[in-house]
């Protein structure tokens, strides 16, 4: 009876697809809309040093997404006897922080710089002082400011930056947005407005200008902030084809804002309820 119910749920697309890009695996999980796991798939990958900085190839991102989804679809058919042709909702999470910089035409300017890199010591210290808030080495704004301080040529062409989850979400939906949890690893968030801190944005813009990057306006360079529970686009035809080149997967699934793995891990382990917590080591 349960098997037939699950098969019907999958066939009707009353499911949610979660995609997680972790440090060692890209994972895909299909659940009911109530959160019951129906099937899963995965793809193993590893970071590499590129010009002395830890990185992942964006070609590997695409390959990993396809492979993880194919593994998931096989698991769906094996366990439930249904082809995975539609899902009702989709969400992406990935390693927080890091630096993906693009020009106005969407061209990647330098290889993806991950959260592991610690070349941002001076930038993080300077920003922490002028913004009067702790800016960790891994935060995206620290990566961008360090590139300014180092006089990197690509800075002149930077039009926008994002994190890995934001990049994948845009690949799948065409929507440029970042969940508030992941956005809080790019730049300080104002708890009242639940958006980037406007006062600190102005201070940071002045600091960037003093360092010779007056063309950068962080309010434009950073992705818009999406809040939990808000719609953040839909799985596009291009996104469906990226996940499933066979063409079986139909577009249209509603998407939540892409998030960082810290927040999604806390939700998954129920560490967001009162009198609970989590430790990352």
Tens digits of residue pLDDT in 123-133 = 999 999 999 99
Query: What pLDDT digit, counting tens, does each position of 25-50 carry?
Result: 999 999 999 989 999 999 999 999 99
CATH code that applies to domain 1-95+228-267:
3.30.420.40
Report if pTM > 0.85: yes
Sequential pLDDT tens for the chain (281 residues): 577 888 899 999 999 999 999 999 999 999 999 989 999 999 999 999 999 999 999 999 999 999 999 999 999 999 999 999 999 999 999 999 999 999 999 999 999 999 999 999 999 999 999 999 999 999 999 999 999 999 999 999 999 999 999 999 999 999 999 999 999 999 999 999 999 999 999 999 999 999 999 999 999 999 999 998 899 999 999 999 999 999 999 999 999 999 998 888 888 788 888 998 887 76
Rounded CA separation 226/177 (Å): 6
The distance from CA 150 to its chain's CA centroid, rounded to whole angstroms, is 26
The pairing of beta strand 53-55 with beta strand 89-94: unpaired
* Per-residue pLDDT tens over the stretch 73-105: 999 999 999 999 999 999 999 999 999 999 999
Q: Which pLDDT score is estimated for 1? A: 58
Report whether 261 contacts 179 (CB < 8 A).
no
**Residue that has been written with the tokens 């698991």 in this structure:** 75
The Cα–Cα gap between 8 and 6 comes to: 5
pLDDT for the residue 279? 79
Q: Which fold has domain 97-162+188-221?
A: Nucleotidyltransferase; domain 5 (3.30.420)
The Cα angle at residue 66 between residues 64 and 68, in degrees rounded to 5: 65
Assess contact for 51 and 111: CB atoms under 8 A.
yes
Inter-helix orientation angle 198-210/121-131, to 10°: 130
Instruction: Please tell me the distance from the alpha carbon of residue 217 to that of residue 232, in angstroms, as a whole number.
Output: 24
Q: Give the residue extent of every domain in the chain.
A: 1-95+228-267, 97-162+188-221
Cβ-contact 257, 226 below 8 angstroms = yes
Strand partners, 254: 89, 234
The helix (H) or strand (E) run that includes residue 10 is: helix 2-11
Q: What is the DSSP letter of 224?
A: P
| Contact status, residue 100 vs residue 164, Cβ threshold 8 Å | yes
Give the pLDDT score at 228.
87
Two domains, one topology: 1-95+228-267 and 97-162+188-221: yes
User: Per the structure block, which two tokens stand in for 209?
Assistant: 């200008």
């Amino acid at each position: 009876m349960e098997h037939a119910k699950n098969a019907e749920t999958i066939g009707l697309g009353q499911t949610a697809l979660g995609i997680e890009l972790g440090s060692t695996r890209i994972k895909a999980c299909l659940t009911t809309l109530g959160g019951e796991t129906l099937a899963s798939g995965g793809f193993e990958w590893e970071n590499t040093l590129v010009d002395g900085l830890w990185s992942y190839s964006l070609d590997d991102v695409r390959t990993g997404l396809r492979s993880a989804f194919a593994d998931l679809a096989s698991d769906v058919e094996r366990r439930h006897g249904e082809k995975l042709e539609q899902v009702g909702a989709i969400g992406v999470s990935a390693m927080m922080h890091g630096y993906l910089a693009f020009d106005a035409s969407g061209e990647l300017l330098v290889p993806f710089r991950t959260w592991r890199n610690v070349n941002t010591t001076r930038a993080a210290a300077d920003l922490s002082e002028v913004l009067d808030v702790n800016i960790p080495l891994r935060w995206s704004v620290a990566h961008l400011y360090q590139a300014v301080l180092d006089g990197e040529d690509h800075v002149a062409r930077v039009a926008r930056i994002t994190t890995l989850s934001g990049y994948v979400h845009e690949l799948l939906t065409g929507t440029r947005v970042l969940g508030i949890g992941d956005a809080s690893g790019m730049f300080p968030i104002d708890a009242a407005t639940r958006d980037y801190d406007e006062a600190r944005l102005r201070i940071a813009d002045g600091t960037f200008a003093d360092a010779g990057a007056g063309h950068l306006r962080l309010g434009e360079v950073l992705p818009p902030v999406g809040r939990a529970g808000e719609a953040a686009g839909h799985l596009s035809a291009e996104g469906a084809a990226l996940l499933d080149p066979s063409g079986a997967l139909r577009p249209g699934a509603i998407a939540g804002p892409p998030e960082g793995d810290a927040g999604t891990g806390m939700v998954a382990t129920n560490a967001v309820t009162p009198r609970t917590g989590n430790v990352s080591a």
